[in-house]
């Protein structure tokens, strides 16, 4: 592993802004083969959507509950792990097929999961010791002097 950043967030703070800024700084050292700037942005949007889902749906806007985000870089992969202690919820089991249509889905929601699936190369979910664990992976190259 070349580098790893772990954020453990609780309390009344702006989780989304802090996660975005950390991810943005780390992703400055990552090169994506197709549309590097657009891919960096899309990865951050996917992560922001997943964190928003945790805060809004899992924690019902209770910012005192813990959220952990780990950014890990190897020579060829960016992996982001998002963990929360909300109710068990497997986002991969959620049907997002309506989100790909030109029209809006009948029900609100589902776009964050759809975005993560579309942007990332691999998305995995597990329930581990009372934590929801979502792993988002994207093929990338790390700049040598980062």
- Report the CATH number at residue 62: 3.30.565.10
As a whole number of angstroms, the distance between CA 80 and CA 137 comes to 6
> What pLDDT, in 10s, does the model give residues 58-107?
999 888 899 999 999 988 999 999 999 999 999 888 766 665 544 434 44
- Select from 119, 100, 120, 102 the least CA-distant residue to 110: 100
Task: Report the number of distinct structural domains present in the chain.
Answer: 1
Backbone angles phi, psi at 30, to 5 degrees: -115, 135
R_g of the chain, CA atoms, integer Å: 15
pLDDT at 141: 82
pLDDT at 14: 74
Per DSSP bridges, beta strands 131-139 and 141-142 are: unpaired
**Which position has the higher pLDDT, 88 or 15?**
88
pLDDT at 102: 47
Q: What is the mean pLDDT of residues 26-37?
A: 88
**Domain housing 16:** 3-142
pLDDT at 96: 60
Estimate the share of the chain in helix, then strand, then coil, as percent rounded to the nearest 5. 35, 30, 35
- Burial of 125 per CB tally in 10 Å (0-12, 13-18, 19+): middle
Least confident of 2-6, 129-133, 140-144: 140-144
Q: What is the mean pLDDT of residues 116-143?
A: 93
If you average pLDDT over every residue of the chain, what do you get?
Answer: 85
């Amino acid at each position: 592993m070349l580098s790893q950043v772990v954020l453990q967030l609780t309390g009344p703070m702006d989780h989304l802004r802090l996660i975005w800024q950390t991810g943005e700084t780390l992703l400055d050292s990552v090169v994506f083969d197709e549309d590097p700037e657009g891919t960096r942005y899309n990865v951050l949007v996917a992560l922001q959507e997943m964190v928003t889902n945790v805060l809004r749906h899992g924690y019902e806007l209770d910012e005192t509950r813990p959220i952990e985000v780990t950014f890990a870089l190897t020579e060829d992969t960016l992996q982001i792990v998002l963990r929360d202690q909300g109710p068990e919820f497997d986002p991969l089991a959620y049907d997002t097929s309506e989100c790909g249509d030109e029209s809006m889905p009948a029900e609100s929601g589902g776009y964050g999961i759809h975005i993560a699936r579309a942007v990332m190369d691999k998305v995995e979910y597990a329930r581990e010791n009372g934590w929801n664990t979502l792993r988002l992976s994207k093929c990338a190259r790390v700049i040598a002097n980062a």
